[in-house]
Structure 1
Amino acid sequence: MEHQQRSQGRLSPSSDTEDIVALLAPRLVHFAGVARTEHVTRAAQELQVPQSTLSRSVVRLEQDLGVDLFARHGRTLSLTPAGRAFLVSVERALAEIGRAAEEVRADADPATGKVAFGFLHTMGAETVPGLLHAFRADHPRIRFSLVQNHGDAMLEGLRAGELDLCLTSPVPDAPDLVARRLDEQKLRLVVPADHRLAGRRRIRLAEAADETFVTLEPGYGLRRITDALCAEAGFRPRVAFEGEEAETLRGLVAAGLGVALLPPPAVPRPEVVELTVTSPRAAREIGVAWLAERPDTPPVTAFKKFLLSRRGRLLPD
C-alpha cells in the first residue's frame, strides 16, 4: 500500500530537469530542517511554519522522488541512507543559493553595489579613468566590472545581461536598446613622420586616395566610419593591415606600413604626424547605450545619471 502511495506522486523518468527543480525546490528547506533536528515539531519551531505544513511537505517530497528519506519512530525521524545522500546535495545547493542571493543583494546596494560597464579600447587610457575618478568622488564605494571591446561585441553583452551600460561609437539605433549621444571626437589622418604629407597640418581625405591604409577589423565601429568617410571622399581604401586596437594601428603607421584615420592619442608619438581632415568632416559620435525595459539597480541608475550629465564634456580637452 505504501509503495503504491509513493508511486502515485513519483516523477516520470522523462520529466524535464526544469520541471523537477520547480517541483522540488520549495520543499528542500523543509527537508533540510527536519533532517537536522530529526524531529518535526522542533523543525517547525525553527523554521516558523505549522507542523502540519512541514509534515505534508516532507511526505510530498518523498512521493515526488519515489524514495523514503526518513524512517519514522513515533514523533522522531531518522534519515535513511537515501536521505543522508540527498541531504548532502541539498545543503550544498541551499548554501549556493544563499551565496547567490547575498551576491545579487550586494551588487544592488546603493552605496556599495556594482556596475558592469563596457567601453571602446580607444577610451580606456584616458577617458574612462577620468570618468570613474569623477563619479567616485560622490560614490566612493560603488564597484565596477570593466570590459573593453568593440561596439558590436558590447551590444551583444548588453543583450546577454553581461553589461549594464556601454560607451560606444557609432551610437546604436536598435529597437531593443536605448542610446544617448554624449560627445563627438574628431578623427585625424595619421601618417609616418617621414611621409610625403608629414609637413602638412591639414588635408582633404581625397588626397590620401592612393595611400595604403591600416584599419581596425570589420565589425569595429571605427572601421565602418573609416570606410564611410573614404567612400564620401570618392575612393575605397586599400587596406594592408587590420588590427584590434587603435594604438597598434598607430604603431604600424610609425613603422611606415600605411596611414590611418584615428582619434587623438592619449600620449603623442613623435614617430607619426596627425593631420586635421578638412573634407569630409571626420568625426565620430560617442554615446552610451543600455538595454530597453531592463530595470536598473541603484548603482547603475546613479552611474547612468552621471554619464548623461556629461553630455558635451565627456572627452578630455
Structure 2
Amino acid sequence: MHGTPIIVPVTHQQRSGRQLSQSSDTKQFDAHTIDRAGATEGAVDLEDMVLRLAPRLAYFAGVARTEHVTRAAQEMRVPQSTLSRAMVRLEQDLGVDLFARRGRTVSLTHAGRTFHASVERALAEIERAADEVRADADPATGKVAFGFLHTLGAETVPGLLQAFRAEHPRVRFSLVQNYGEAMLERLRAGELDLCLTSPVPDAPDLVARRLDEQKLRLVVPADHRLAARKRVRLAEAADETFVTLEPGYGMRRITDDLCKEAGFKPRIAFEGEEAETLRGLVAAGLGVALLPPPAVPRPGVVELTVTAPRAAREIGVAWLDGHPDTPPVAAFKKFLLSRRGRLLHD
C-alpha cells in the first residue's frame, strides 16, 4: 500500500465537476463531487495518504468485485450509506473517478482498474500475513524462534528439541546459532523468542534464568609439556600463547576473566569464531585454549581439568522482559526451565 499505485491513478483521469447519475442504489454515493483544488494543492504527503486510504481499501475491493453498492454492502455487512461515503472520500483523496455509473450498477474506470489490481494484491498480502502470524501462534503447529551458542549445537540443542518434540511433534522452530551478544541484540529486536547463552545476562530489559553449568578445560597440543597431566592450575599456562574466540563472545570474556583471576593477561596469537576451529589451531601447535568439552574427542589435543581458579561457565535461557509469549513459545520456555540442572547431562 506504500507503492506507487496509490499515487499513479491521479494522472489517469481527472474528476469532472459534474454530479453523477442518481440511481436508487448509488444516490448518496453519487451526491458528491471531488474538490479538485484540494486534491491538487501541493504534494500529498504519502504517509498521510496511506493512513486515509487504508481503511477504505477493502470496501473499494468489495464494490469493484460486485459492481453494485447495495450488494457489496450486504456481503460485507455494512450499511450502504457507510460504504457510499467511503467510496466518495476515496475518490476525493485520489482526485480521480474510480467508478462509472450505469443505472443501478457501477463499473470501474481505467483508473479504477489500475487501482483495483494493486488493492487486490495488497489485500492478498495482508491476508497472507494474517494467516502466517495466526499459524505461528497456533498451540499445536506454531513456531519458536530459538537462538543458541555454537558450542551447544552439536549435542545439547538437538537433544532438547528431540525431547520437546516428543510432546509437541508439530511445533516448528527457526534456529539461530550465534555468539552471546549478537543473540541478545536479536532478542531485543524481536527476532528471537528465546536464547540459550553464556554468561547468563544481567540486563534490566531481559529476563534470564540459570539452567546449568559447564566445566571448562585447558586444551593443549598432544606433545605439549603439560600434556601428560590430568589437572593443571591455570597460572601454569601464564607463559603460553593462547588462541581464543573473538571479543563479544561469552567464552572470550570468561577466558579473560579467568586468566586475570589466575594473575596474568593471556598473550593471544589467534582469534576465531568456532570452538572447533580453535581446537584445530591447538592441535597444530599454535597455542592453548580454554574451551568447553567437545561433542567428539579431537585427535592431536589433550584436555586438562583446571583446578584453580574454578573454571566453568553458566548457561541460561533469556527472553525479552514484558514480551508476550505465543502458546508454542510459552510451552518451550516451560520445557527449558524444567531442565534446570540437567540441561547438559540427560
Q: TM-score, normalised by structure 1?
A: 0.96
| Residues in 2 aligned to 1:300 and 1:120: alpha-carbon distance in whole angstroms | 19
Given the superposition, is the C-alpha separation of residues 305 and 199 from structure 1 closer, same or farther in structure 2, using an over 3 Å criterion? Answer: same
Give 3-state SS (helix, strand or coil) of 2:166's partner.
coil
Q: Of residues 63, 71, 86 in structure 2, which corresponds to 1:34?
A: 63
| Residues in 2 aligned to 1:39 and 1:187: alpha-carbon distance in whole angstroms | 74
* Structure 2 counterparts to residues 1-317 of structure 1, below 5 A: 1=17, 5-7=34-36, 10=39, 14-316=43-345
Unaligned runs of 5+ in 1: none
Q: Write the letter of the residue equivalent to 2:203.
A: A
| Residues in 2 aligned to 1:89 and 1:214: alpha-carbon distance in whole angstroms | 57
| Higher alpha-carbon deviation: 200-209 or 56-65 | 56-65
| Residues in 2 aligned to 1:305 and 1:18: alpha-carbon distance in whole angstroms | 42
Deviations 1:107-164 (A, max 9, x none): 0000000000000000000000000001011101000000000001000101111100
Q: Contact 2:34–2:95 at 8 Å: present in 1 too? A: no
| Residues in 2 aligned to 1:39 and 1:4: alpha-carbon distance in whole angstroms | 19
Give the superposition deviation at 1:104: 0.3
Deviations 1:217-244 (A, max 9, x none): 0000100000010011111111111000
Given the superposition, is the C-alpha separation of residues 70 and 126 from structure 1 closer, same or farther in structure 2, using an over 3 Å criterion? Answer: same
Give 1 or 2 for the bigger CA radius of gyration.
Answer: 2
| Higher alpha-carbon deviation: 75-84 or 121-130 | 75-84
Deviations 1:1-29 (A, max 9, x none): 55974337648655543332222111000
Pairs aligned (count): 317
| Higher alpha-carbon deviation: 79-88 or 121-130 | 79-88
Q: Write the letter of the residue equivalent to 2:111.
A: A
Q: Contact 2:34–2:91 at 8 Å: present in 1 too? A: no
Q: Write the letter of the residue equivalent to 2:47.
A: E
Q: Which residue of 1 aligns with 2:7?
A: none
| Residues in 2 aligned to 1:11 and 1:223: alpha-carbon distance in whole angstroms | 62
Given the superposition, is the C-alpha separation of residues 315 and 175 from structure 1 closer, same or farther in structure 2, using an over 3 Å criterion? Answer: same
Give the superposition deviation at 1:288: 0.4
Deviations 1:259-304 (A, max 9, x none): 0000000001131100000001100110100001111000000000
Unaligned runs of 5+ in 2: 1-16, 19-31
Q: Write the letter of the residue equivalent to 2:256.
A: D
Q: Write the letter of the residue equivalent to 1:115.
A: V
| Residues in 1 aligned to 2:166 and 2:136: alpha-carbon distance in whole angstroms | 19
- RMSD after superposition: 1.5
Given the superposition, is the C-alpha separation of residues 15 and 5 from structure 1 closer, same or farther in structure 2, using an over 3 Å criterion? Answer: closer
Q: What percent of counterpart residues are identical?
A: 83
Given the superposition, is the C-alpha separation of residues 12 and 137 from structure 1 closer, same or farther in structure 2, using an over 3 Å criterion? Answer: farther
Q: Write the letter of the residue equivalent to 2:85.
A: R
Give the superposition deviation at 1:74: 2.8
Q: Contact 1:33–1:47 at 8 Å: present in 2 too? A: yes
| Residues in 2 aligned to 1:21 and 1:5: alpha-carbon distance in whole angstroms | 18
Give 3-state SS (helix, strand or coil) of 1:179's partner.
strand
Q: Write the letter of the residue equivalent to 2:216.
A: L
Given the superposition, is the C-alpha separation of residues 177 and 17 from structure 1 closer, same or farther in structure 2, using an over 3 Å criterion? Answer: farther
Given the superposition, is the C-alpha separation of residues 137 and 12 from structure 1 closer, same or farther in structure 2, using an over 3 Å criterion? Answer: farther
Q: Write the letter of the residue equivalent to 1:60.
A: R
Q: Contact 1:8–1:63 at 8 Å: present in 2 too? A: no
| Residues in 1 aligned to 2:215 and 2:231: alpha-carbon distance in whole angstroms | 13
